């Protein structure tokens, strides 16, 4: 690492760092850790095109809560994921399916912007829950090193694309998971889990942009019991008594549409706009009274 005026950049074998060892609530600087993660996701493994930029940023970002979960446990892991969930932009797909320039991916008016970080990371959390830790970490080692058994001196820097990772996951698990990656990376909106009570049954249905298939299993807590719903064909049903309440995905395994998050973001934006206007009006009034005093 070399200390620089620039905040942080993941140069191969020697990161630029200028964030003054600022501590987050974790007790260490998240940025120093983030740039360090790029030695694997960015430098050892490099995207073939900037359209696959999430392979750098989504993985590097996910490594941060993952480290917290290992170091401190679940509370800090989920708290970090919740922060990410609240800032998703969801205006452009993370993967466009055509060659992209870095500036177009990073510019939120033309590309996914911060979603390559946070939507990428939250998608990886969901993938881990879906395929399990063994297959998840095996797939990542293959992505980064080209082998499940990397040893110093026995691997070289690699380039890979989104499709390469999808193929690795499918090979390692023995299942075709293209539906999963398509629903999260190649669409704009998040899958929505619709629930409807009908007598003694709770009907569940995934709604995905473009009516894409999404057989994502989900847990539902009915009263005090947690039920696994396989959601074959994107639909499922659970028995529920009239006096029982339910909670969808009670252990927060699946990234999905949450209408209250959009409401939160809209409320924040409106308040920021109002505060900016009030500040502008106050500045104008101050200039006006200063001018009056001079006269």
Minimum CB distance to Zn ion smaller for 57 or for 182: 57
* Least separation in angstroms between CB 182 and Zn ion: 24
CA 9/CA 191 separation, integer angstroms: 33
Considering beta carbons, is residue 35 or 182 the nearer one to Zn ion?
35
**By C-beta, is 84 or 254 nearer to Zn ion?**
84
| CB of 120 or CB of 191, closer to Zn ion | 120
Q: Are 183 and 214 in contact (CB under 8 A)?
A: yes
Q: Which is nearer to Zn ion, 8 or 191 (CB)?
A: 8
Confirm if 61 and 120 have CB atoms less than 8 A apart: yes
Residue placing its CB nearer to Zn ion in the complex, 30 or 180: 30
> How many CB atoms lie under 10 A from the CB of residue 172?
20
Site for Zn ion in 49-68 (CB under 5 A): 57, 60
Give the Å distances, CA to CA, from 218 to 35, 84, 107, 140: 34, 21, 34, 24
Q: How far apart are CA 254 and CA 248, in angstroms?
A: 10
> How many residues of this chain bind Zn ion (CB under 5 A)?
2
User: CB of residue 60 vs Zn ion: minimum separation in angstroms?
Assistant: 5
Of residues 180-219, which lie at the interface with Zn ion (CB under 5 A)? none
**Shortest gap between Cβ of 57 and Zn ion (angstroms)?**
5
Closest CB 34 distance from Zn ion, rounded Å: 5
The candidate with the shortest Cα–Cα distance to 9, out of 31, 27, 30, 24, is 31
- Of residues 60 and 208, the one with the C-beta less far from Zn ion: 60
Could you give the CA distance from residue 74 to residue 76 in angstroms, rounded to a whole number?
6
Binding site for Zn ion (CB under 5 A): 57, 60
């Amino acid at each position: 690492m070399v200390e620089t005026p620039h905040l942080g950049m993941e140069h191969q074998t020697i990161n630029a760092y200028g964030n003054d060892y600022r501590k987050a609530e974790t007790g260490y600087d998240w940025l120093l850790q983030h740039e360090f993660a790029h030695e694997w996701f960015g430098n050892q493994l490099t995207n073939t095109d900037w359209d696959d930029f999430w392979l750098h940023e989504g993985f590097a970002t996910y490594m941060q809560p993952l480290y917290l979960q290992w170091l401190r446990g679940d509370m800090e892991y989920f708290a970090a994921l919740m922060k990410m969930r609240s800032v998703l932009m969801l205006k452009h797909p993370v993967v466009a399916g055509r060659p992209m320039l870095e500036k177009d991916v990073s510019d939120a008016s033309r590309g996914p912007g911060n979603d390559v970080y946070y939507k990428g990371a939250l998608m990886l959390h969901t993938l881990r829950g879906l395929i399990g830790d063994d297959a998840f970490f095996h797939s990542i080692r293959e992505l980064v090193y080209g082998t499940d058994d990397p040893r110093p001196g026995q691997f070289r820097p690699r380039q890979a694309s989104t499709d390469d990772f999808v193929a690795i996951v499918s090979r390692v698990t023995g299942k075709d998971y293209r539906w999963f990656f398509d629903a999260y990376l190649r669409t704009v909106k998040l899958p929505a889990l619709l629930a409807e009570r009908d007598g003694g049954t709770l009907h569940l249905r995934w709604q995905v942009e473009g009516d894409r298939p999404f057989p994502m299993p989900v847990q539902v807590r009915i009263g005090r019991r947690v039920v696994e719903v396989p959601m074959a064909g994107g639909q499922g049903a659970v028995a529920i008594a009239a006096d029982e309440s339910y909670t969808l995905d009670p252990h927060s395994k699946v990234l999905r549409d949450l209408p209250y998050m959009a409401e939160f973001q809209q409320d924040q934006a409106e308040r920021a706009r109002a505060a900016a206007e009030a500040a502008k009006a106050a500045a104008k009034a101050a200039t006006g009274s200063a001018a009056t005093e001079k006269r």
